[in-house]
Amino acid sequence: MNKSYMTNQTAKHHPPRVLFRVLCLLFITTGAVMAAEVVVDTGIPKETLFSLIRKGGVVMIPLGISSIIAVALAVERFISLRQEKVLPSGFLEGLGQAWDADPSGQAALDFCNRSGAAAGHVFKAGIASRHHGSEAVSRAIEDAGAREAGRMKRSVRGLSVIAGVAPLLGLMGTVFGLISAFQTTASRGGAAKPADLATGIYEALVTTAAGLVIAVPVMLVYQYLSHRVDGLIDHIDEIGTEFIVQHARGDGYQAEEG
């Protein structure tokens, strides 16, 4: 398999860079908005980010922890799901050398076991089915690729959980804040000033805003990483089938027709 083929296939299945740029822009915009001070035109002293977080109450604590976990998990997955980790650059060359050294395929199987990469598991399934025809090889690689894709997607599922839970935590904080604001009004016999009630409501809404600010970028990161997994597995499926069938034919193997 020549390098130009691998380069074309890699470019074909690489996740859209536009999505990544939009994601980065969203992070930058979100950070700028959160860092900006809220200016009130009515003469009331302006709010800072820190003061708003304090007014969000105890619910801001799990929201803050969730955002830290999401960032750590996203960084770790971005590193782990690089093509060099899933399909190392010297993998095909090493596999070809192992195959040439032992036409029985046992050395190639051992090489796949030692690699520890996702490509090793996928190629191993195709090598084990090489004597049953090209269709069997393709089917085995597709099945192994689906299993590897599922495994890698499970590793980013935590981001999806955080993206779903953060808005609910924010909403819960808002509900509790509204209950407290109306309870204060009721305890005063309904004589509370509208300004006091409005202050309680806007402070209660801080947690909902924080939950959404966390959930939106985290969900985008999750979708991006899931798309990256699909692209990497599709790339491995295509080059894996062609690589194994070509090497098997070189050993005198005749693929089944039809």
Top pLDDT among 70 and 25 is at 70
Whether residue 149 has pLDDT greater than 70: yes
Closest CA relative to residue 240, chosen from 127, 159, 148: 127
pLDDT band at 7 (very low <50, low <70, confident <90, very high): very low
Q: What is the pLDDT of residues 39-51, one digit of tens each?
A: 444 445 566 667 7
At 67 the pLDDT is 92
At 121 the pLDDT is 82
Cα(152)–Cα(226) distance, integer angstroms: 8
Q: Where are the domains of the chain?
A: 3-87+145-250
Cα(20)–Cα(106) distance, integer angstroms: 41
| Residues recorded for the chain | 258
Quote the mean pLDDT of the chain. Answer: 75
At 45 the pLDDT is 55
Whether residue 133 has pLDDT greater than 80: no
pTM for the predicted model, two decimal places: 0.70
* C-alpha dist (Å) from residue 162 to 66, 207, 213: 7, 15, 12
Q: What is the pLDDT of residues 76-110, one digit of tens each?
A: 888 888 877 788 888 888 888 887 787 777 888 88
Of the chain, the percentage scoring pLDDT greater than 70 comes to 72
- Which DSSP symbol is given to 117? S
Closest CA relative to residue 137, chosen from 13, 23, 37, 246: 246
Residues 6+ apart with CB under 8 A from 36: 49
Whether residue 165 has pLDDT greater than 90: yes
Cα(30)–Cα(53) distance, integer angstroms: 15
Closest CA relative to residue 122, chosen from 102, 149, 103: 149
